Structure 1
Amino acid sequence: MSAAPSDSATDRRHSLAEFVAATNQQDRGEGFFEMERDRLLEVNLGAAGTEVWIKAGAMVAYTGRIGFEREGMLEHGLGKFLKKAVSGEGAKLTKATGRGRLYLADQGKKVTLLHLDGESLFVNGNDMLAFEPTLGWDINLMRSLGAIAGGGLFNVRFAGRGMLAITTHYDPLTLRVEPGGPPVFTDPQATIAWSGNLEPKFKTDVQFKTLLGRGSGESIQMEFTAARSPGFVVVQPFEERPMPPGAA
């Protein structure tokens, strides 16, 4: 018994050529950082810049002549090395250098591009994807029992001028923090970033059932207040578990 003939119109609509055309890389001319897809970042190495710092393991493809070098133990100074050793930071860095197009992604998370123009921003270490070497950065340790238990032990402070790519599970939400206004409380595992003028504290509400492992997960919160100037905090609709120490 012969097979039923295929629908030629359907075949043309789902052809391999159509798939290639629909998913083909697009050159939008956006500069050093370019959004290839909402979950895929293109970095144009060459005339616009010959090197970029990326999260280790974020490379999915590249064209041209690009080399990769894992962050040296003392490349960013002894102070940062000691902080990374103490914090067990999971967001290890890789330096990509050369000429070509580099494509980055992180577990299918949504990519957001930010241009800092003299501002400062704190970013959860797990949610940093890439940044220009023109940006200054430092690891910020949050020393408290709440920080350790909530998974918000460390973050990265960026400052200066340059591009920064961060990632979120789904669409982020930004909450304003106003001087004299009510505090903003967030789940540490859903907190992505906050403005550089804010210094969050940890609020704990440890009850007996929490100690027995039957808590709701919201017994530890980050508390944001603004002293003199307004600020903001960015959250995602997802509780991201912290990476274990030494993970890449």
Structure 2
Amino acid sequence: MGRYSIKQFVENTGQKDLGQGNFELERDRLLEVNLDGRVWIKKGTMVAYNGDIRFTREGVLEHGLGKLVKKAVTGEGLSLTKAEGKGKLYLAEMGKKVTILELDGQSIYVNGNDLLAFEETVKWDIKMMKRIAGFMSGGLFNVLLEGKGMVAITTHYDPLTLQVTKDRPVFTDPNATVAWSGNLQPDLRTDISLKTLVGRSSGESLQMAFTGEGFVVIQPYEEVYLATVQT
């Protein structure tokens, strides 16, 4: 049905309390945060709020000198805003789908571009993959999240999770890779023959190789990053 009376429209599209906890999917592309304290959100993702909420951009040394240096290396790809107070906060980014993950002592790596929000109880750090000197233009760095609390990530369309086993490694396009389990340490490799076949200087010719035991989350969409590996 595409036509409504004003009353029908308000009723059908109105906010609903789903009782899911501090992080709640108000829509599949809209995160509702039932805030009573503090939460970290990706800069520029607040679309609405009610109640008494204050927003503060993270200070230069908010998370210590080590993270400041790492953010400089990764091109400031992850900018956080601190939301404090009590009320309802609504977050979205470019119409991407939102998934809520609840950590209970586990750890997960998330591409910095796909991290929407996380609770203050979650520990985090910026990590660079092994055997990689650096990337240009940001985009291809990742954030390690661990401990207890809720994390919200975003994907273009529905995410797909692939299992990694000792006898079945998984290879992914970095531009389509969203997250992976905290025990995996992917390597980066190039496929010259595939590069020649598809005529690209990145993407399918540049692959992330996951080995061991764990999982990888991908999206059916390649976000375009101008990434090059320094040698």
Q: Which residue of 1 aligns with 2:40?
A: 53
1:237 aligns with 2:216: no
Structure 1 ranges of 4+ moved more than 4 A: 143-147, 149-152, 207-210
What SS class does the counterpart of residue 135 from structure 2 fall into?
A: helix
* Residue correspondences, number: 225
Aligned residues: CA RMSD = 2.5
Q: Which residue of 2 aligns with 1:36?
A: 26
- One-letter amino acid of the counterpart of residue 240, structure 1: E
What is the distance in 1 between the residues matched to 2:218 and 2:84?
A: 32
Any conservation in 1 of the 2:75–2:138 contact (CA below 8 Å)?
Answer: no
Q: Which residue of 1 aligns with 2:165?
A: 178
Residue 209 of structure 1, CA deviation: 7.0
Q: Deviations over 1:27-84 (max 9, x none)?
A: 12222111100110000112xxx11000000100000111100011100000000000
What is the distance in 2 between the residues matched to 1:239 and 1:224?
A: 18
Q: After superposition, where does 1:97-176 map in structure 2 within 5 Å?
A: 97-142=84-129, 148=135, 153-176=140-163
Q: Which residue of 1 aligns with 2:188?
A: 202
What is the distance in 2 between the residues matched to 1:90 and 1:150?
A: 8
Residue 144 of structure 1, CA deviation: 5.0
Any conservation in 2 of the 1:150–1:220 contact (CA below 8 Å)?
Answer: no
What is the distance in 1 between the residues matched to 2:173 and 2:21?
A: 35
TM-score, length-scaled by structure 1: 0.84
- One-letter amino acid of the counterpart of residue 191, structure 2: D
What is the distance in 2 between the residues matched to 1:43 and 1:193?
A: 22
TM-score, length-scaled by structure 2: 0.90
Unaligned 5+ runs, structure 1: 1-9
What is the distance in 2 between the residues matched to 1:125 and 1:60?
A: 20
Q: Which residue of 2 aligns with 1:6?
A: none
Any conservation in 1 of the 2:158–2:219 contact (CA below 8 Å)?
Answer: yes
Q: Return the index of the structure with the highest Cα Rg.
A: 1
Distance 1:236 1:150, change over 3 A: farther
Distance 1:40 1:209, change over 3 A: closer
Q: After superposition, where does 1:222-233 map in structure 2 within 5 Å?
A: 222-226=208-212, 230-233=213-216
What is the distance in 2 between the residues matched to 1:85 and 1:146?
A: 14
- One-letter amino acid of the counterpart of residue 16, structure 1: I
Q: Which residue of 2 aligns with 1:21?
A: 11
- One-letter amino acid of the counterpart of residue 200, structure 1: P
What is the distance in 1 between the residues matched to 2:226 and 2:51?
A: 32
Determine what percentage of the aligned residue pairs are the same residue.
62
Any conservation in 2 of the 1:126–1:243 contact (CA below 8 Å)?
Answer: no
Q: Deviations over 1:167-201 (max 9, x none)?
A: 0011111110112x122100000000000110000
Q: Deviations over 1:206-247 (max 9, x none)?
A: 46976xx93273100000000xxx200000000012489xxx
Q: Which residue of 2 aligns with 1:5?
A: none
Residue 147 of structure 1, CA deviation: 6.6
What is the distance in 1 between the residues matched to 2:83 and 2:204?
A: 39
What SS class does the counterpart of residue 25 from structure 1 fall into?
A: coil
Distance 1:78 1:128, change over 3 A: same
What is the distance in 1 between the residues matched to 2:83 and 2:176?
A: 29
Unaligned 5+ runs, structure 2: none
What SS class does the counterpart of residue 68 from structure 2 fall into?
A: helix
